[in-house]
Amino acid sequence: MATWVKHFPLQIKAAALQPLDPVAPVFRWAGSKRKTLPTLASYWRPSYGRYVEPFAGSAALFFWLQPERALLGDINDDLIAAYHVIRDRPDDVHGAVSSIERSERVYYRVRRRNPERLGAFARAVRFVYLNRHCFNGIYRTNLAGRFNVPYGHTRTGTIPPVEDFRRVARLLGRARLKAGDFGSTLRVVKQGDFVYLDPPYAVESRRVFRQYDRREFSTRDLDRLSQHIENIHRKGAWFVMSYADCGEARRLFVHWVTRRIRVRRHIAGFASGRRVTTELLVTNIDR
């Protein structure tokens, strides 16, 4: 890593920020950081120029912080398209999703529909319905790019109230939504931005869920991400990244400020398989 990194500390005094009016995401998402939001929020300051998140997913931190300006990106085209529709027609999306019967039979019928043959609104409704009723909020596709997660036989898939859709829509109105690889989002980061990164975990030593679509996040992507982080710092922007506490991360991010936190993973399908583990927070903010 270039030596300038060591001579450009970004220091702030941080304290956990409590949202004035908490807004819950409308999507369930594997690997969501809801349990660690107070810790992540402690790195944020309203004086930052813009909030940027290239692996948006459920965007839980964005909805917690409620920044005035934001850029939300994700490689999942259907997710970003759904956010566009929810932003513009929250009541209609809620009404349409709520009108679809929740049952295993209907779930697989909806899943079989080809989203490429649907209009933008119907495609968004399908996406929300499958997300709320699939197994454990996982997004996964086969090699052909077709969503293939089974039905979830739990009560956690209820549809949020319409007011949640409205509040999410109002906040999405503050954000630019961008579908694409994380690099396309990070290339437009500028001085004063705050970037939160929550990439899939590419860990060779143990099995970690990382395939959110047919384009699996790999260790090569991790190397590329490390280069983007250097560029973020060079531009005078701030970043915080959540990542698995593993050898790959400790090797690549040794020059940054790191912090270990304890988290409970929620990928496993049953409570007995959900364990407490550690993750790394990697940042250029020296508190």
- List, for residues 33-79, the tens digit of each pLDDT value: 888 999 999 999 999 999 999 999 999 999 999 999 999 999 999 99
Per-residue confidence band for 205, with pLDDT thresholds at 50, 70 and 90 = very low
| Nearest to 226, CA basis, from 282, 149, 164, 162 | 282
The pTM (predicted TM-score) of the whole model is 0.86
Using the structure block, give the residue that is written with the tokens 């679809």: 100
Instruction: Compute CA 193 distance to the chain's CA centroid, rounded to the nearest angstrom.
Output: 18
| DSSP-assigned states of every residue in 8-71 | --EE----PPPPSS----SS--TT--GGGHHHHHTT--TTSSEEEESS-TT-HHHHHH--SSEE
Q: What is the pLDDT of residue 142?
A: 86
Q: What is the pLDDT of residue 12?
A: 44
Residue 198 in contact with residue 242, Cβ under 8 Å?
yes
Q: What is the pLDDT of residue 265?
A: 60
Q: What domains lie within the chain, and their CATH numbers?
A: 3-286 (3.40.50.150)
CA 272, 277, 283: angle at the middle one, nearest 5? 150
Q: What is the pLDDT of residue 154?
A: 74
Q: Mean pLDDT over all residues of the chain?
A: 86
